[in-house]
Homo-oligomer: A and B are copies of this chain.
C-alpha cells in the first residue's frame, strides 16, 4: 500500500518550495500559470488530497492534542508545554509535540503531519520564518477544515482563533517607568529584529514609557542582536562604549547575561552603574552573577490556559458558524527583582 502523497513530496519532486505547491493548489495568483498547471497535474496524478483523513474523521475524537513550538532548547517554550500537558492530562488528553525549528517549511510539514487525523486540535507558537514571511496559509487551511487552533506568544492578527499572549507592551512600559523612578535616564533596549511580534510590542512599551516621561527617544540606545547567529562581544562593547547608559531592558535573558558579562569586563558595576532587566526568568537568570532581575512570563499558566481554550473548543460539538467567537487571553508578566537592579 502506497502512503499518502504530501505537499513535501510534490515540492521535492517538482523542485519548488512547499509554499509554492500550497499556493498553486489553491490556484493563487502569486504563482505563474506553468507552475500551477504542473503542480495541479502532479497532485491529480498521485491523487493528492489535503488532509483527507482529517475531514472524514471530523467527528471521531482522538483525545490527542498537537503542539508545535519553534524551538525545544528554550526555557519559555518548554514551560508552556508543561502547562499544556498538565491541563490536558487532567482532562484525559495526550499531547504530541513537533518542533518547527524556526522554519516555515517545517511548520507546514508538521501541521500537515498532525492534521492527518492524529489530533483533535492544535496549540502553537509561530516560527521566526513564518513571522518574517508573513504567510499563514497553512493555518488558514487547518482552521477552514474545522480543526480548532490556539496560538500563544508569537501570534498574528491575520488568523481568527483563540490566543494567549503576554502583556508585552504594558510590562515593558512598567519596567522602564521603574528605571526612571529610581533615577535612571539613559535607558537602553537590547532586542531582536522587529518581525517578532513580541519584540515589536516590547519596543512599543519602551518608547511609550520614555515619551510618557518626556525623555526624547535616542535610536542609538537600541541594540539589535542576532537571534540565531553567534553574538560577537565587540558588538556589545561598541554599543556600551559609544553610549551613555545607566539601565538596560533586554528582550530575553540570554541577551541580558551576555551584556552583563561584557560590561562587567569593562569595569562597569551592576547595579550601581547600570541596572539590567531581562525577559524570560529561566534558570540562567537565577544562576547568573549578579542574579538577573527578570520578567516572569508565566509559561506554565499560558500553557494551561491555551489547553483549556482548545479543549473547550474541541468539546463544544455543534457550533453554528455564526456563533463562533474567539478570545485573546492576556497574561500579566511579573517583574522578579534580584541583584541586577536597585530596589
Contacts and interface: CB of A to CB of B under 8 A. Distances in A.
A336 interface: no
Given A72-B72, A284-B287, A97 B94 contact: no
Contacts of A156: none
Contact of A59 (B1, B78, B81, B96): B1
B98 A61 contact: no
Given A3-B63, A287-B257, A96 B94 contact: no
A9 to B, nearest CB: 9
A82 B95 CA distance: 19
A70 to B, nearest CB: 13
Which 4 interchain pairs have the tightest Cβ spacing?
A289-B289, A73-B78, A97-B97, A72-B78
Interface string A106-135: 100110011000100000000000000000
A75 interface: yes
Contacts of A287: 257, 284, 287-288
A96 B73 contact: no
Q: How many copies does the complex hold?
A: 2
18 contacts: A1-B59, A3-B61, A3-B62, A73-B79, A73-B82, A81-B99, A85-B101, A89-B106, A94-B109, A94-B110, A94-B113, A95-B99, A96-B98, A96-B113, A97-B97, A283-B283, A287-B288, A289-B289
A228 interface: no
Interface of A: 1, 3, 57, 59-64, 72-73, 75, 78-79, 81-82, 85, 89, 94-99, 101, 106, 109-110, 113-114, 118, 257, 283-284, 287-289
A21 to B, nearest CB: 16
Nearest to A112: B94
A205 to B, nearest CB: 27
Contacts of A82: 72-73
Contacts of A60: 1, 3
